[in-house]
Chain A
């Protein structure tokens, strides 16, 4: 595997289900991200992990729970979602530079989530 991979590619779940999205990067990067992409809205940054520690959480509802067990893996645990959470969830990784500037981000293909 190369680059950034995401599984599953498609997921349909009910509002009471619990599911997890998985992301893996094979680039040796030190930062990983979750984004939400909804129709007609800009990409929304959800979570940032740098060196496996969460550094940003943009007021995301608690029904989304991230986990970063190591620098190569990132999970997004989903619980009691709402229909408006249906979207494309993109994972990305980057090699961040000194001073906090983000290096270029490499994206996975995304997971298309539908909440019924």
Chain B
């Protein structure tokens, strides 16, 4: 069965600092991979996706993620965090139905 692990429940970073959110998945082949962001009281918004091809994918709001097959990882990165990035971030694996990780809540401090 497919599964997604986001090992960090909460992360706090200073505004302007770099960010990396971890995601590991379990699946026998290469799945479709997604990162979503959820602001309080809102639905989820897609940040970026990986289906195939270049393993470094660019998304909206300055985010990028790198697919590493050998590590079964799809970590999300941003070089400089803005206060408006404070939200919850979900990694998801999509094969025959999408499975979401438990989420990482990002706090940004001035």
Contacts and interface: CB of A to CB of B under 8 A. Distances in A.
Interface of A: 4, 6, 33, 41-43, 45, 48, 56, 90, 92, 100-110, 112
Interface of B: 31-32, 34, 36, 41-46, 49, 90, 92, 94-103
A48 B97 contact: yes
A15 B86 CA distance: 35
Given A100-B96, A103-B94, A110-B42, 20 more contacts: A4-B43, A6-B43, A41-B102, A45-B97, A56-B97, A100-B95, A101-B32, A101-B96, A102-B32, A102-B94, A102-B95, A104-B32, A104-B46, A104-B49, A104-B94, A105-B92, A105-B94, A107-B36, A107-B43, A109-B43
Contact of B98 (A105, A108, A109): A105
Nearest to B46: A104
Nearest to A35: B100
